[in-house]
């Protein structure tokens, strides 16, 4: 490549906001329903939203009640070649449709059922398309498997940084050592063991990590969310994410009345566990009925919100920085590139330096002052933490709403229309390159998974060995909530 070519690539790479990202965000903002085009909305202003794979490895070796996968998911063989082919096609389409950078989940059934080399290859493909990948797992794998993913055959690092989201809750059966948990507290040793594998990974091999803790919430375990938050806050997880259960996926696993669990009820439990209010209205991803989010710093065990919705100075800073820097990518960017981006951004909007320093000063003040922050940092009692609740919709809501949207029709029925608005506001998309479209995750699991998994069952039938190796822990699920009358409990 010529010197001019190198300089041109460097200039584009170090622009504060990539022009393709800017165009993608403008399209996303224009697509959003007017109801969610609010001052605190981040979709289309700061981010394009998350992405996820589908149909790449539906099989899992734990059983959950509920499970968002279709009943045929465990009748599909895990095949690394199929996984890599589909990840490549889906990420290529996402790159074309949504711009050069996004967060994407390597998700299906259980990712650790993939051979470690195929798992690593899938992450590499995702990064080649500008995606920051996160492996979605139940967390029941060994350190050696993690090493085989992160290191090559010669023991050299494949990645400088990895992201994993581990799902732990007492509705899951078959986990080694806790086959049939009777409480969330029984899972705390497993949670800690998983998280500390990544502490060891950094110590032993210098690989950084970002860890999310996921938990499905039903009436059975809702009262235990606060206790779980208190426990997980002392573990090296960066995010805590909670998903109120929905009637979606395998209807054999609908054991309780999920309508008893609202996004407000879950957030209240999260706040109780954190021991304080968790302000969230300063920012919004997508529809407020779908997502609730706040981020900040944990300083000496106390959460300090990054943006206080009740502080007008914070809101003014948010608006200025979104207008000038919305879409600037920080994560997964090499330091020379990131530093140059920041310098160019500061030269373009010099006043933003003062705005940013003022915001940091208010965060430090909320934390108790500069000296307290420094002491906490020295004692390793300071970290960035994020709290999230993602509320999926029931399949019986999604199917008719999506059918009308496909025909370009907005319903006159208030409930159906609300579902349509939520789908149009979705912050989590899945790629379908075969017909050139992106679909919300709720549509994937409510409408498309059933047919897709049946096709995969024919394409990738189980081997005799796989067919005889049923998921462990097939025992009766713990139930303290009331089952739905139209779906009696199945114990198997």
The predicted model gives 378-407 an average pLDDT of 96
Is 64 contained in some domain?
yes
Is 154 contained in some domain?
yes
* Residue 204, domain extent: 49-311+383-467
The predicted model gives 342-348 an average pLDDT of 95
Give the span between the Cα atoms of 188 and 228, in whole angstroms: 8
Closest among 168, 53, 79 to 439, alpha carbons compared: 53
Give the span between the Cα atoms of 324 and 10, in whole angstroms: 21
- Assign 6 a pLDDT band (cuts: 50, 70, 90): confident
> Domain tally for the chain?
1
Give the pLDDT confidence score for residue 67 in this predicted structure. Answer: 87
Instruction: Give 115-122's long-range contacts (Cβ < 8 A, gap of 24+).
Output: 115/80, 116/145, 116/148, 116/149, 117/80, 117/148, 118/80, 118/83, 118/84, 119/149, 120/148, 120/149, 120/150, 120/158, 120/159, 121/80, 121/84, 122/56, 122/83, 122/84, 122/87
pLDDT surpassing 50 at residue 484: no
- Assign 278 a pLDDT band (cuts: 50, 70, 90): very high
Give the span between the Cα atoms of 323 and 302, in whole angstroms: 30
- Assign 468 a pLDDT band (cuts: 50, 70, 90): low
The predicted model gives 392-406 an average pLDDT of 96
Q: What are 288-337's pLDDT values in tens digits?
A: 999 999 999 999 999 999 999 999 999 999 999 999 999 898 877 888 99
Is 319 contained in some domain?
no
Is 305 contained in some domain?
yes
The predicted model gives 2-12 an average pLDDT of 89
Give the pLDDT confidence score for residue 68 in this predicted structure. Answer: 87
Is 111 contained in some domain?
yes
Give the pLDDT confidence score for residue 329 in this predicted structure. Answer: 85
Closest among 475, 479, 472 to 491, alpha carbons compared: 475
Give the pLDDT confidence score for residue 308 in this predicted structure. Answer: 98
Give the pLDDT confidence score for residue 130 in this predicted structure. Answer: 95
Decide if 239 contacts 386 (C-beta within 8 A).
Answer: yes
Q: What are 204-219's pLDDT values in tens digits?
A: 999 999 999 999 999 9
Cis bond upstream, residue 66 (ω within 30): yes
CB within 8 Å of 288: residues ≥ 6 apart: 36
pLDDT surpassing 60 at residue 480: no
The predicted model gives 257-280 an average pLDDT of 95
- Assign 405 a pLDDT band (cuts: 50, 70, 90): very high
Rounded to the nearest 5 percent, the helix, strand and coil shares of the chain are: 45, 15, 40
Tell me the three state secondary structure of residue 224.
helix
Is 34 contained in some domain?
no
Give the pLDDT confidence score for residue 100 in this predicted structure. Answer: 94
Is 201 contained in some domain?
yes
Return the minimum-mean-pLDDT range out of 240-254, 308-322, 412-426, 465-479: 465-479
Decide if 211 contacts 195 (C-beta within 8 A).
Answer: yes
Is 346 contained in some domain?
no
- pTM (two decimals): 0.92
Q: What are 104-159's pLDDT values in tens digits?
A: 999 999 999 999 999 999 999 999 999 999 999 999 999 999 999 999 999 999 99
10 Å CB burial of residue 351 (0-12, 13-18, 19+) is exposed
Structure tokens at 436: 């050139």
Mean pLDDT over the full length of the chain: 92
Closest among 259, 267, 257, 314 to 288, alpha carbons compared: 267
CATH at 394: 3.20.20
Give the pLDDT confidence score for residue 482 in this predicted structure. Answer: 39
- Assign 469 a pLDDT band (cuts: 50, 70, 90): low
Give the span between the Cα atoms of 122 and 414, in whole angstroms: 42
């Amino acid at each position: 490549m010529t010197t001019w070519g190198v300089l041109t690539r460097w200039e584009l790479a170090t622009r504060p906001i990539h022009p393709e990202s800017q165009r993608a965000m403008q399209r996303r903002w224009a697509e959003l329903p007017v109801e969610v085009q609010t001052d605190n909305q981040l979709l289309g202003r700061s981010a394009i939203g998350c992405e996820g794979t589908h149909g790449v490895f539906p099989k899992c070796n734990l059983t959950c009640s509920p499970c968002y996968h279709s009943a045929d998911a465990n009748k599909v063989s895990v095949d690394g070649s199929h996984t890599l082919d589909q990840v490549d096609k889906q990420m290529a389409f996402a790159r074309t449709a949504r711009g050069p950078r996004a967060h994407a989940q390597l998700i299906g059934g259980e990712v650790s059922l993939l051979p470690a080399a195929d798992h690593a290859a899938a992450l590499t493909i995702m990064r080649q398309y500008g995606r920051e990948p996160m492996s979605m797992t139940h967390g029941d794998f060994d350190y050696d498997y993690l090493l085989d993913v992160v290191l090559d055959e010669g023991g050299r690092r494949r990645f400088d940084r990895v992201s994993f989201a581990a799902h732990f809750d007492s509705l899951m059966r078959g986990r080694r050592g806790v086959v049939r948990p009777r409480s969330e507290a029984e899972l705390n040793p497993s949670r800690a063991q998983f998280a500390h594998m990544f502490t060891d990974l950094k110590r032993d091999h210098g690989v950084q990590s970002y860890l999310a803790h996921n938990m499905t919430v039903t009436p059975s375990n809702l009262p235990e969310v606060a206790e779980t938050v208190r426990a997980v806050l002392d573990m090296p997880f960066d995010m805590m994410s909670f998903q109120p259960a929905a009637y979606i996926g395998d209807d054999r696993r609908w054991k309780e009345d999920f309508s008893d669990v609202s996004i407000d009820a879950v957030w209240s439990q999260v706040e109780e566990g954190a021991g304080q209010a968790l302000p969230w209205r300063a920012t919004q991803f997508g529809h407020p009925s779908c997502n609730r989010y706040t981020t900040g710093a944990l300083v000496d065990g106390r959460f300090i919100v990054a943006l206080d919705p009740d502080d007008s100075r914070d809101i003014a800073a948010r608006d200025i920085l979104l207008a000038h820097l919305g879409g600037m990518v920080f994560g997964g960017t090499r330091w020379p590139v990131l530093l140059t981006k920041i310098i160019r951004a500061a030269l373009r909007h010099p006043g933003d330096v003062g705005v940013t320093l003022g915001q940091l000063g208010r965060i430090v003040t909320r934390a108790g002052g500069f000296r307290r922050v420094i002491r906490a940092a020295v004692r390793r009692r300071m970290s960035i933490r994020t709290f999230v609740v993602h509320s999926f919709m029931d399949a019986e809501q999604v199917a008719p709403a999506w059918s009308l949207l496909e025909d370009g029709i907005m319903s006159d029925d208030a409930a159906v229309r609300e579902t349509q608005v939520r789908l149009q506001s979705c912050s989590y998309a899945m790629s379908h390159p075969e017909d050139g479209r992106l679909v919300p995750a709720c549509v994937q699991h409510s409408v498309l998974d059933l047919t897709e998994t049946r096709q995969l069952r024919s394409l990738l039938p189980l081997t005799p060995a796989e067919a005889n190796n049923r998921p462990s822990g097939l025992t009766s699920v713990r139930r303290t909530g009331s089952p739905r009358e139209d779906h009696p409990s199945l114990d198997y």
